[in-house]
């Protein structure tokens, strides 16, 4: 089975699952997409360094007739390690520049320490509720499995709506917060291709990626609606097992994901109305497991509770959330 696939004339997919998804829980990565501009090659996300993945990507690119020495730009959807850990490899070896949305600047310069500081703050003293193990072990496992985000202070910071021109293809930057505040998607008008990063994970049943304490329900709904308004025929997502092609399939992904989010909102409100106060852990197990697993079962309702709080519909008292009519 090939480790790469040519999607369009100038667009290549290097799968996170080939030759293996991981080895002894080590090496979890993301799909890396390459755009051949002729004079340059642009990467969408970089993946991890574990299991020698960057070297393998270079080998596969050569087999596809692409010269890795032409890798000059890396467009990160956000600064999580599974997307950004290998940026140093490409920057050092091929003098590639790193591009990222401006709201993700602190995350990229602060590295993994920034990630955990922000998530601890967002969890409001309930961080242990979100994870099934002590935090020191969660951090060790994360470092072992996907590595850490390199601290990079000299990235090219992008504005939403900005277009980076290429010799063959252009990329539009679209700020799509929700998973994290600085998350961005990229859109190629000529290819009609959308690079979603972690906005949606199609490997599950229409999963919007609300899997951190800081994840924002309102923001991710708005972000998906924003992407759905584009004329899209190719969807390239960071954790997908396949490329979604066709305008109707793209619309179905967006509409189906929004429907799942609406269902989760309804479930959360119903649970709050039926109970005389609910602890955060009480929500786990009430959401479709084909869509949300593990800490998703806590992070999804928490993101919805934060939405309800903004509307004055929820109050927090003595460790419990109460619904306000």
- Of the pLDDT bands very low, low, confident and very high (cuts 50, 70, 90), residue 133 is confident
Alpha carbons 314 and 74: distance in angstroms, whole number: 42
Q: What is the DSSP secondary-structure string of 219-284? A: HHHHHHHHHHTS--SEEEETT-SS-EESHHHHHHHHHHHHHHHHHHHHHHHHHHHHSS-B-GGGGT
pLDDT at 146: 96
pLDDT at position 300 over 90: yes
pLDDT at 219: 98
Within-domain flag for 69: yes
pLDDT tens for each residue of 308-321? 999 999 999 999 99
- Of the pLDDT bands very low, low, confident and very high (cuts 50, 70, 90), residue 3 is low
Within-domain flag for 75: yes
- For the domain that residue 42 is a member of, what is the CATH number? 3.60.15.10
pLDDT at 153: 81
User: Could you give the number of structural domains in the chain?
Assistant: 1
pLDDT tens for each residue of 49-81? 999 999 999 999 999 999 999 999 999 999 999
pLDDT tens for each residue of 76-129? 999 999 999 999 999 999 999 999 999 999 999 999 999 999 999 999 999 999
Within-domain flag for 309: no
Alpha carbons 236 and 234: distance in angstroms, whole number: 7
pLDDT at position 1 over 50: no
Within-domain flag for 121: yes
Within-domain flag for 237: yes
pLDDT at 119: 94
Within-domain flag for 34: yes
Within-domain flag for 310: no
pLDDT at 166: 98
- Of the pLDDT bands very low, low, confident and very high (cuts 50, 70, 90), residue 4 is low
Enclosing domain of residue 175:
4-266
CA-CA distances (angstroms) from residue 226 to 43, 161, 191, 251?
23, 12, 18, 12
Mean per-residue pLDDT of the chain: 95
Per-residue exposure over 283-322, b if at least 16 CB sit within 10 Å of its own CB, e if not: bbeebbeebbeebbbbbbbbbbbbbbeeeeebeeeeeebe
Does the pTM exceed 0.75? yes
- Of the pLDDT bands very low, low, confident and very high (cuts 50, 70, 90), residue 156 is very high
- Of the pLDDT bands very low, low, confident and very high (cuts 50, 70, 90), residue 325 is confident
Within-domain flag for 271: no
């Amino acid at each position: 089975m090939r480790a790469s696939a040519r999607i369009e004339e100038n667009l290549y997919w290097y799968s996170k699952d080939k030759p293996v998804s991981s080895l002894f829980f080590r090496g979890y990565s993301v799909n890396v997409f390459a755009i051949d501009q002729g004079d340059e090659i642009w990467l969408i996300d970089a993946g991890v360094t574990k299991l020698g993945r960057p070297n393998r990507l270079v080998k596969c690119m050569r087999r596809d007739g692409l010269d890795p020495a032409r890798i000059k730009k890396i467009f990160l959807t956000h600064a999580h390690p599974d997307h950004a850990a290998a940026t140093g490899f490409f920057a050092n070896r091929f003098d590639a520049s790193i591009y990222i949305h401006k709201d993700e600047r602190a995350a990229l310069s602060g590295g993994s320490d920034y990630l955990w500081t922000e998530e601890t703050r967002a969890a409001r003293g309930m961080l242990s509720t979100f994870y099934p193990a002590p935090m020191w072990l969660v951090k060790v496992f994360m470092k072992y499995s996907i590595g850490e985000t390199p601290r990079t202070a000299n990235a090219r910071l992008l504005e939403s709506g900005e277009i980076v021109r290429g010799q063959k293809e252009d990329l539009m930057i679209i700020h799509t917060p929700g998973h994290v505040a600085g998350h961005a998607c990229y859109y190629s008008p000529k290819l009609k291709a959308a690079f979603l990063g972690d906005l949606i994970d199609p490997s599950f049943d229409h999963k919007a990626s609300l899997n951190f304490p800081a994840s924002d329900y309102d923001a991710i709904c708005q972000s998906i609606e924003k992407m759905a308004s584009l004329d899209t025929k190719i969807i390239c997502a960071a954790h997908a097992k396949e490329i979604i092609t066709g305008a109707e399939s793209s619309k179905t992904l967006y509409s189906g994901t929004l429907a799942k989010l609406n269902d989760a909102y309804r479930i959360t409100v119903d649970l709050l109305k039926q109970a005389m106060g609910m602890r955060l852990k009480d929500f786990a197990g009430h959401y479709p497991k084909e869509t949300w697993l593990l800490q998703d079962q806590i992070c999804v309702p928490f993101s919805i509770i934060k939405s309800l709080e903004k509307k004055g519909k929820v109050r927090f008292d003595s460790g419990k959330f109460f619904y306000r009519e």
